[in-house]
Amino acid sequence: MKIGIVCNLKSGVKHTHTDDVEEEFDSPETMHAIGAVLASKNHQIIYFAESPELPAALIKDRPDFVFNFAEGRGASRAREARVPALLEILGIPYSGSDPFTLCVGLDKDVAKKIVCDAGVKVPKGAVFTSNSFDLGSIPIDFAFPVVVKPAWEGSSKGIRDSAVAKTQEQLRALLNEALKGYDQPVIVEEYLPGCEITVGLIGNGDELKVIGAMEIVPKIKDEFFIYSLDVKRNYLTRVDYCVPPKISSDTLGVLFSSAINAFKALGCKDFARIDFRLNSSNHPVFIEANPLPGLNPVTSDFGLIAKGMGWSYENLILAVFEAATKRLGL
């Protein structure tokens, strides 16, 4: 099979607007690691860049199937959907979720509403735009502390260690900073005091399965710890990754069922990573869905979950590929 691999690679160019513009993008290491796994099964591999030239490139050297992990550029909540939408226009089958799910997954507020309707617990929150608050108190109907984050980002873009506000003054400063730095709405959510856990899933329909879960544990106790961009960039010194998480079997059961319900409610396909935090009652609360999770062989959370459960990187990539090709009847 001729397989195209489509992604966004980091350019290495420094950006003056915010320094996390390309945070979601991949390295050649990831692209070639995936390609090597698929090539080992005698597939022909072609690499494509997500760019305005992509349609012409796909028509010129048309693949039989695309392994997609392109994030897209810009602040649009539809950016992850562009490549799948293009592939559907061209009639080229691809791995992963469809354009609708990728749009919904990137819009954290919409994803929460859909998941909540499916019976999964979500945090209290509010959405703000540049015109939705004045010089008075910021209107929220839940207690401090709160977390402030852009509504349409992934890879913790816009979420720094300082993203937890304890007062109205801090909230106003964080809101202003986020609204100026990111061309999109900003979410304010209640801070959940329990641990952060992410769940990896592979498959479709009756064959959907949880491959495992990973708890993110700060090395130094922090009353208001969040899995921020600062933490991710310095993960070796800031956190430990525990697979499986150190929670009760009852909580683990609720966590897994909630992850499966969220996956299905959002219409995810083939694979996804679903993030949770525990509330004060140790109940899993949905934070966000990642229907296009990172696949770096060393640093990706999805890969770390699989590794912790005894999977090789090769087995992980092949499991995603096989889930997609089986779903598509290839």
User: For 293-304, how does the pLDDT look when each residue is reduced to its tens digit (9 = 90+)?
Assistant: 999 999 999 999
Sequential DSSP letters for 47-82: EEESSTTHHHHHHHT--SEEEE----SSS-TTGGGH
Q: pTM to 2 decimals?
A: 0.92
Q: What is the pLDDT of residue 14?
A: 61
Is the pLDDT confidence value at 19 over 80? Answer: no
φ, ψ of residue 67 to 5 degrees: the values are -90, 105
Question: Once rounded to an integer, what is the mean pLDDT over residues 127-141?
Answer: 73
What are 199's two structure tokens? 């769940």
Is the pLDDT confidence value at 22 over 70? Answer: no
Sequential DSSP letters for 15-38: -SS-TTTTTT-B-HHHHHHHHHHH
For the stretch 264-290, pLDDT in tens is 999 999 999 999 999 999 999 999 999
| Mean of pLDDT over the chain | 91
Q: What is the pLDDT of residue 138?
A: 80
Sequential DSSP letters for 243-298: SS-SS-HHHHHHHHHHHHHHHHHHT--EEEEEEEEE-TTS-EEEEEEESS----TT
In one-letter notation, the amino acid at residue 223 is E
Q: Does domain 103-120+193-328 have CATH number 3.30.470.20?
A: yes
Question: For the chain, which residues make up each domain, given as ranges?
Answer: 2-95, 103-120+193-328, 125-190
As a whole number of angstroms, the distance between CA 48 and CA 2 comes to: 13
Q: What is the pLDDT of residue 9?
A: 86
* Superfamily of the domain at 125-190: ATP-grasp fold, A domain (3.30.1490.20)
| Position 162 confidence tier, pLDDT thresholds 50, 70, 90 | confident
Fold of 2-95: Rossmann fold (3.40.50)
Q: What is the pLDDT of residue 95?
A: 98
Is the pLDDT confidence value at 148 over 70? Answer: yes
For the stretch 201-221, pLDDT in tens is 999 999 999 999 999 999 988
Q: Which of 49-63, 223-237, 247-261 has the lowest mean pLDDT?
A: 223-237
**Can you tell me whether residue 165 is helix, strand or coil?**
strand
For the stretch 171-196, pLDDT in tens is 988 998 888 888 889 999 999 999 99
Query: Among residues 172, 214, 218, which one has the least CA distance to residue 300?
Result: 214
Is the pLDDT confidence value at 39 over 80? Answer: yes
Q: What is the pLDDT of residue 127?
A: 92
What are 159's two structure tokens? 């979420």
As a whole number of angstroms, the distance between CA 160 and CA 153 comes to: 13
